[in-house]
Amino acid sequence: MQRNPTVLVVDDEPLNVELLKSILEPLQFDVRTAVNGAEALDSLARDPSDIVLLDVMMPVINGFEVCRRIRADRTLKGIPVILLTALHETTDRIMGIDAGCDEFVTKPFDKNEVVARIRTLLRLNFYRSQIDEKEKFENVMHRMNDGLVVCGPGMGIKRANQRARELLGTDDNSPLWLARLARDFRVGYYGDLRRDLGSQDLEFDVERPETGSARPLILSFSSSLMKDPDGGVSSVVIILHDVTEQRQERLRKESFLNLLSDKLRAPLAKGLKDLAALPDPPPAVDEVMDFLRKMEKIFDFLSVSGSDRLSGLRPPVDMAGLRSLFNAAVDAQPGKAVECEYRLEAGLGLSMAKDALGILLKNLVENASKFTDQTVAKVTLSASREGDKARVTVADNGHGLPGEERQAIFDAFYQVDRRGAGKAPGLGLGLAIVKRIVQSNQGEIRAELPPGGGTSVTFTLPLALA
């Protein structure tokens, strides 16, 4: 709620004070009073007013001196001061101007003149304060180490600091700057960036590859919506932070782990295949195969990382591709039979790398097969459109989950005790891998308990038309 303007009336004549109060208070001004200059300065020091009406002819400290002291005070110098005076000589008015007053009202004063001058000065002071705040904001903007971009609802740039122009390599303020960003950088966002910037807060990385004349550059791109009083979007504020060194260090670690995984994954797979084909396996073969599968799971966990956000746009996986990957995941399950049902909406495409989607489905099918006491694990794969997202669900006929475990199952190393014996199978990495893949592709994931029993895992991904 907007407060009323405060006016400090300073006059040693009680009749003048009462007259001014009778004029201003009905017009929604909050009137404070002081009977001399010293009292006025004390009042301002405790709680500065929006404007001061100051009588010139007062004992001890006259109005000129009070005005000089107001202008000399760093916290008070911006307050407008109107001198109330019966003086008519030009030299007296020059003294008032020299003391720093903004306006004069001559006694006996006219009601309309007093109100008009107060309102004019308050309005001018508001505009001056806005200019001061804008200058402060601009100064802060241009001293920032991060790039700062402020866009309007149409995504044209209203304001950008020097650091943002350096990082983006352009002074283009039109909405076309987003197309330039997509041309010059690999953008780790797979939805409609121009549309989604105006409807939600976003956070992802963009990367400019190394060229002969420029080093590689990786930026953290973070946007926030600014709303107007009616709830509409007035601005989109974007922060660009140079994370090149941090990301490159992380990528070096990931490259090492991926190299280790690639070198050992093939021997592991061959070992599993050879052991499974033995006509008369030794007693310890089950333990060896379990060990090899756990090693493979660890390698999957290490290989799935946030660096996938920098892989750029990919051809979408259509429904035929999704079904093929799901069948491959089913075929990879040892032992238990798996029966599949498909409910796939035609024409959809998933914005995800095919290899990552294959790992995701393999882990979901493995969980469905592992956590059921039925002779045949029945698994249903559904895919449909949900707004601007693709909604994919893998449902099984397992024993379900307690309600408190529905979110915990996505935590790394969390294990569900299947039989209440205090010993859960596996490492607790399968669904953590699934969650990491989904989130690195701007998706969301959740587990649900269908009315018919079992467990369903649903994830959403940016939609691409196949």
User: What are the sequence ranges of the domains in the chain?
Assistant: 6-140, 144-242, 304-465
Could you check whether the bond before residue 283 is cis, i.e. omega within 30 degrees of 0?
no
Q: Which DSSP string corresponds to 167-214?
A: HHT----STTHHHHHHHHSEES--S-HHHHHTTS-EEEEEEE---SSS
CATH 3.40.50.2300 is the classification of domain 6-140: yes
Residue 29: pLDDT band (50, 70, 90) is very high
Question: Which numeric CATH code is attached to 144-242?
Answer: 3.30.450.20
For the chain, what is the mean pLDDT? 80
Supply the pTM of this predicted model. 0.47
Looking at residue 348, its pLDDT comes to 87
Put residue 442 in one of left, alpha, beta given phi > 0 → left and psi -120 to 50 → alpha: left
Mean of pLDDT values over 61-67: 91
* DSSP state at residue 308: G
Q: Which CATH superfamily is domain 304-465 in?
A: Histidine kinase-like ATPase, C-terminal domain (3.30.565.10)
Looking at residue 66, its pLDDT comes to 92
Mean of pLDDT values over 225-247: 85
Looking at residue 306, its pLDDT comes to 46
Looking at residue 265, its pLDDT comes to 64
Q: What are the CB-based long-range contacts (under 8 Å, 24+) for 97-101?
A: 99/63, 99/64, 99/65, 99/67, 99/68, 99/71, 100/67, 100/68, 100/70, 100/71, 101/54, 101/67
Is residue 255 packed enough to be buried (19+ CB in 10 Å), middle (13-18) or exposed (0-12)? exposed
Q: Which of 236-245, 364-373, 441-450 has the highest mean pLDDT?
A: 236-245
Residue 302: pLDDT band (50, 70, 90) is low
The C-alpha atoms of residue 238 and residue 251 are separated, in whole angstroms, by 25
Q: What are the CB-based long-range contacts (under 8 Å, 24+) for 433-437?
A: 433/297, 433/300, 433/301, 433/304, 433/359, 433/360, 433/363, 434/360, 434/363, 434/364, 434/410, 434/459, 435/410, 436/301, 436/304, 436/305, 436/306, 437/304, 437/308, 437/352, 437/356, 437/357, 437/359, 437/360
Q: Which DSSP string corresponds to 45-75?
A: HHS--SEEEEES--SSS-HHHHHHHHHHSTT
Looking at residue 42, its pLDDT comes to 92
Residue 316: pLDDT band (50, 70, 90) is confident
Mean of pLDDT values over 236-265: 79
- Reply yes or no on whether the pLDDT at 276 is more than 80: no
Looking at residue 309, its pLDDT comes to 44
Residue 311: pLDDT band (50, 70, 90) is very low
Residue 186: pLDDT band (50, 70, 90) is confident
**Is the pLDDT higher at 241 or at 264?**
241
Give the H or E element holding residue 463. Answer: strand 456-465
Looking at residue 74, its pLDDT comes to 86
Q: Around Cβ 194, how many Cβ atoms within 10 Å?
A: 14
Q: Around Cβ 222, how many Cβ atoms within 10 Å?
A: 15
Give the H or E element holding residue 141. Answer: helix 111-143
* DSSP state at residue 451: T
* DSSP state at residue 2: P
Angle at 255 between CA 254 and CA 257, to 5 degrees: 65
**Is the pLDDT higher at 101 or at 142?**
101
**Which residue reads 């996938």 in tokens?**
308
In this structure, what token pair is assigned to residue 92?
A: 């007296």
Handedness of CA 354, 356, 361, 362 (dihedral sign): positive
- Reply yes or no on whether the pLDDT at 254 is more than 90: no
Looking at residue 131, its pLDDT comes to 58
- Reply yes or no on whether the pLDDT at 200 is more than 90: no
- Reply yes or no on whether the pLDDT at 291 is more than 80: no
The C-alpha atoms of residue 88 and residue 41 are separated, in whole angstroms, by 26
Looking at residue 86, its pLDDT comes to 76
The C-alpha atoms of residue 252 and residue 246 are separated, in whole angstroms, by 10
Residue 10: pLDDT band (50, 70, 90) is very high
40 in Cβ contact with 52 (< 8 Å): yes
385 in Cβ contact with 345 (< 8 Å): yes
Mean of pLDDT values over 225-253: 84
**Is the pLDDT higher at 225 or at 267?**
225
Q: For residue 2, which of 114, 113, 126, 115 has the smallest C-alpha distance? A: 126
Buried b (16+ CB within 10 A) or exposed e, 8-33: bbbbbeeebbebbbebbeeeebebbb
Looking at residue 418, its pLDDT comes to 46
Q: pLDDT for 325-355, tens place per residue?
A: 999 888 877 666 788 889 999 888 887 778 8
Mean of pLDDT values over 183-199: 84
H helices of 332-424, in order, are: 354-370
Mean of pLDDT values over 133-161: 76
462 in Cβ contact with 191 (< 8 Å): yes
The C-alpha atoms of residue 153 and residue 133 are separated, in whole angstroms, by 23
Buried b (16+ CB within 10 A) or exposed e, 158-193: ebbbebbbebbebebeeeebbeebbeebbbbbbbeb
Residue 421: pLDDT band (50, 70, 90) is very low
Q: What separation in angstroms does the CA of 254 have from each of 186, 270, 299, 436?
A: 19, 24, 11, 14
